[in-house]
Chain A
Amino acid sequence: MPEVAHALKIERTEDGVRLKLSGRLDADAVAEIWDEALGAAKGKATVDASAVEYCDGAGSALLCELRRRGGGEITGLRPEIAKVFELFEGYEGPDVTARKPVDSAVESLGRAGADFFQDLREQVEFLGEMLVVFFSFRRGATRLRWDDVWITFERAGVQALVVVGMISFLTGLIMAFQAAPPLQQFGVDIFVVNLVGLAMLRELGPIMTAIVLAGRSGSAFAAEIGTMKVNEEINALNTMGLYPMRFLVAPKVLAGIMVTPFLIVYADLLGVAGGFLVMLLRGFPPPALWQQLTSAIGVHDVLAGLIKGFVFGGLVAGVGCLRGLQTKEGASSVGISTTRSVVSSIFLIVVVDAIFAVVYYVLDF
């Protein structure tokens, strides 16, 4: 640490304030004397820098600020220091225009509304483009990259089996644990099987699977495509005539649509198994549980979940790809796209599930 006490002396004269700087003006010394020096330099001040031996960037910044605030002369600088200091002629203080303006509440609301409708429009456009690409596959006009479909199928499906299985099994188990005691008070705890079976097959199996898919695969799609966008790989594909919707998005969306129903069946089985485990521990024999389950659920319940699976799979994969394609510049933008992918997917999963609930109710399905 330099001898800071000697770096600044303040003399008040009839003409104003005279600051005498000495020693090493480096970051440590400047940090110590900054406030005192600038406080004294308000109004007319002259600076005697003849005893300054060394001046780094921080020292130059102090001299710039003293010249700007004090308006007086800086005298006595050694030639080698003066040579550098001359480079900084014209400093006019921190650039307040450089700071990002803060929107008012009304402006923020307006911007959020405009962004929402812009995003909605882009989602509709994306859906339209996706349908065009799929119809072009059907007509044989373009070729689907099946290798990419199977790779995505494996990554999003096979590699997700452990996490989907654990979550579903524990969900069924927790539901049974929570439901059994109150139902037992009425002597109908066997109906826990109905509850777990119906809830898993119609709602929780599809929803939990879709949420895991959104957090695991949708976010990965967004990050992968977003990074490609930042690295101009998307531009490269476009200029090579490889349409990103066909080349990147379609295989992922198709794999999502194909893999999700399989995962849902798997989630249903393990969820029901979790419920059965609790009931077995409570002393119910397996044949009674199986009979209760088969009497409570039908094929239409399985189908109700599977139909959702096709929609959720396409939705999660599509949103992930769309958010990736919407990535702007820089690493932080990839992070934002990934977050938006997960949040949008989960929100849309719940909205679509609500729509399914109404439609199934109306159709008595």
Chain B
Amino acid sequence: MSDDVIIKVSDLSAGYGDTALLEHVSFEVKRGDVFVILGGSGCGKSTLLKHLIGLLPPLAGEVLIDGGNLASASGEDRQKILRRIGVGYQSGALFGSMTLAENITLPIEEFTTLPPEAREAIAWTKLKLVGLESFTGHLPAEISGGMQKRAAIARAMALDPQVLFLDEPSAGLDPVTSAELDALILHLRDALGVTFVIVSHELASIYAVADRVIMLDKKAKGIIAEGRAQDLRDHSKDPFVHKFFHREAI
């Protein structure tokens, strides 16, 4: 695995139990890239994401994150790999009984020996990154859906991960908020060098942020296209890819 590759997926079969939704999937993600996994509904995007972040064990093949294999690692080794990644879930998945600041300080409290005022300062800086520094004391229920998604990104960044995985970050957001979120992703990539792996099928967002995309297909049970989003839109010969990027009925 070369130095500029942070995620290497080799011959992965992904699915639940004995049922494989995806077979023989291989790709690499470079450091500092915004990498987008896209495809139609039910093609296995979120399942693939769950395999990447170690929530599901591979049915076959392997996933390496900065050289570490989450599926085979245990104990401290697994914790070390997990500290290199952050995950923003589709619903935000913020802890409802905690304030935004407490949501962020929770992993810092668990995994570092920093004093409380340092943790609070970190929480402020993370919320500042996503433009929510004046909402530190708010509960998730007291802010809008778009703000919750931004807060979830701030929490995912609590331990300064090298890779941020985001599951459909733009889903359910208005175009303005969605564009703000896209700008935030690029800002974090440029300022902090964070690598993003994003599951999405929001074309506008994909064109705005993606350095590289892979497209999954349910029938093919794997990757049917790979490259820059604009190139796939303009030059792909695959009928499904063409229809997907031109929003045509199948």
B121 touches A330 (CB 8 A): no
Knowing A95-B124, A95-B136, the reply to whether A34 touches B96 (Cβ < 8 A) is no
A65 touches B114 (CB 8 A): no
Could you tell me which residues of chain A, from 34 to 60, have a CB within 8 Å of some CB in chain B?
Answer: 34-35, 56-58, 60
A88 touches B97 (CB 8 A): no
A98 touches B101 (CB 8 A): yes
B124 touches A330 (CB 8 A): no
B101 touches A65 (CB 8 A): no
A60 touches B125 (CB 8 A): yes
In the complex, how many angstroms separate the beta carbon of A39 from the nearest chain B beta carbon?
12
In the complex, how many angstroms separate the beta carbon of B125 from the nearest chain A beta carbon?
5
Knowing A56-B160, A87-B191, A329-B141, the reply to whether A31 touches B115 (Cβ < 8 A) is yes
Complexed CA–CA distance, A13 and B212 (Å): 54
Complexed CA–CA distance, A205 and B246 (Å): 70
Complexed CA–CA distance, A211 and B128 (Å): 51
Q: Provide the residues of chain B in CB contact with A26, threshold 8 Å.
A: 160
Knowing A58-B118, A94-B121, the reply to whether A27 touches B108 (Cβ < 8 A) is yes
A332 touches B121 (CB 8 A): no
B157 touches A94 (CB 8 A): no
Q: Provide the residues of chain A in CB contact with B112, threshold 8 Å.
A: 27-28, 31, 58
Which residue in B97, B121, B126 is a CB contact (below 8 Å) of A65?
B121
Q: Convert B190-207 into 0s and 1s, putting 1 for each residue whose CB lies closer than 8 angstroms to a CB of A.
A: 011000000000000000
Complexed CA–CA distance, A99 and B99 (Å): 9
A270 at the interface (CB under 8 A from B): no
B129 at the interface (CB under 8 A from A): yes
Complexed CA–CA distance, A58 and B128 (Å): 14
In the complex, how many angstroms separate the beta carbon of B117 from the nearest chain A beta carbon?
6
In the complex, how many angstroms separate the beta carbon of B156 from the nearest chain A beta carbon?
12
Chain A: interface secondary structure? helix
In the complex, how many angstroms separate the beta carbon of A330 from the nearest chain B beta carbon?
3
B113 at the interface (CB under 8 A from A): yes
Q: Provide the residues of chain B in CB contact with A35, threshold 8 Å.
A: 115
In the complex, how many angstroms separate the beta carbon of A278 from the nearest chain B beta carbon?
49
Complexed CA–CA distance, A328 and B112 (Å): 34
The chain B residue sitting closest to A80, CB to CB, is: B193
A330 touches B118 (CB 8 A): no
A30 touches B118 (CB 8 A): yes
A31 touches B118 (CB 8 A): yes
B222 at the interface (CB under 8 A from A): no
Q: Convert A264-307 into 0s and 1s, putting 1 for each residue whose CB lies closer than 8 angstroms to a CB of B.
A: 00000000000000000000000000000000000000000000
Which residue in A27, A57, A100, A328 is a CB contact (below 8 Å) of B126?
A57
B226 at the interface (CB under 8 A from A): no
B99 touches A98 (CB 8 A): yes
A97 touches B160 (CB 8 A): no
Could you tell me which residues of chain A, from 320 to 365, have a CB within 8 Å of some CB in chain B?
Answer: 328-333
Q: Convert A80-101 into 0s and 1s, putting 1 for each residue whose CB lies closer than 8 angstroms to a CB of B.
A: 0001100110110111011110
Complexed CA–CA distance, A87 and B188 (Å): 11
A160 at the interface (CB under 8 A from B): no
Q: Which of B112, B121, B141 has the most CB of A within 10 A?
A: B121
A83 touches B191 (CB 8 A): yes
A330 touches B97 (CB 8 A): yes
- Chain B residues engaging chain A, CB cutoff 8 angstroms: 96-97, 99, 101, 108, 111-115, 117-118, 120-122, 124-126, 128-129, 133, 136-137, 139-141, 157-160, 191-192
- Chain A residues engaging chain B, CB cutoff 8 angstroms: 26-28, 30-31, 34-35, 56-58, 60-62, 64-65, 83-84, 87-88, 90-91, 93-95, 97-100, 328-333
Q: Please, could you name 14 A-B residue pairs with CB atoms under 8 Å apart, sorted by A?
A: A27-B160, A30-B114, A58-B112, A65-B118, A65-B121, A87-B129, A94-B120, A94-B121, A95-B136, A98-B99, A328-B141, A329-B96, A332-B96, A332-B97
- The 10 A-B pairs at the shortest CB distance, nearest first, are namely A98-B137, A330-B96, A61-B121, A329-B141, A332-B97, A56-B160, A27-B112, A94-B120, A31-B113, A61-B122
